[in-house]
Amino acid sequence: MNNKAWEKLKGWGHEPEKTAIFTDIDGTLAPIVSTPDLSKVPEELRLLLARLARSYRIVAGISGRATPDAKKLIGLEDVVYYGNHGFEILRDGAVEVVPEAMPYADKVRELEKLSREELGPRGAFVEDKGITASIHYRNVPPEVGELCKAFVKREGERLGLRITVGRGVVEARPPIRADKGTAIRRLVEEYGPEKALFIGDDTTDLDAFRALEELREEGVLLETLRIGVKSDEGPPEIVSEADLIVDGVEGVGEVLRVLVSED
């Protein structure tokens, strides 16, 4: 399976104008670090993305981060940025939030406030992200991590929010259909590629994998590739649902190098 996927990947470089490249950021382009503010995309990957953005139909970073943070992390003007797991897009210098999410903004802020009061003193880091909330427990003892998950799940559900757990983080968002899969569907419909791939490492990236598969089955896309970034902390589905598996950020660099190759 992997050999066939690599061969397909190599062929895509001959028709970049028909191809979309979608990627997660943290854990995919940037190594997972203790707190989000320490994250950094290696310069080699930034240069590769810059080259890809000049020739491919679209290159988009689809992140759980707030959209301005996603752009700051990659730092390229030619890349399209979708943030907060598909709840917002950066367009013409302004952030557009999915309108259906706005009624839940106060509830998200309430959860952030409660989490800072209850979990902050225990070492958790509550990230200010606007329309979604992320509570990071990577740097706390395991029992505190379990407390973080239980607290956010209980309070988030009380407030009517959707809760997901990722690599060292528990997240809350409005309970509407907006995720990395809906972001991909919107971008494919807008830019009209014939082929598309997504690279991801965590639970929320599975929505993007499944959207690609649906778009191919519907005939909207002729070819797709789901590239999973293997890690000790990632969900097993990242491996089982991927067409191609790579190891860490270094493996992602190998994928990008293949895509820029003219051989």
- Tell which residue, 261, 259, 263, 262, has the closest CA to residue 195: 259
Residue 147 domain boundaries: 101-173
Contact 252, 46 (CB under 8 A): no
Residues 25 and 124 in one domain: no
Q: Which pLDDT tens digits describe the chain residue by residue (263 residues)?
A: 477 899 999 999 889 999 999 999 999 999 887 777 778 999 999 999 999 999 999 999 999 888 999 999 999 999 999 999 899 999 778 899 989 999 999 999 999 999 999 999 999 999 888 899 999 998 899 999 999 999 999 999 999 999 999 889 999 999 998 999 999 999 999 999 999 999 999 999 999 999 999 999 999 999 999 999 998 888 999 999 999 999 999 999 999 999 998 54
- As annotated, the active-site residues are 24
- Tell which residue, 256, 171, 198, has the closest CA to residue 61: 198
Distance CA 206, CA 240 (A): 11
| Cα–Cα separations (whole angstroms), residue 39 to 73, 80, 174, 201, 247 | 8, 19, 26, 15, 18
Residues 85 and 194 in one domain: yes
State how many domains the chain has: 2
Residues 184 and 251 in one domain: yes
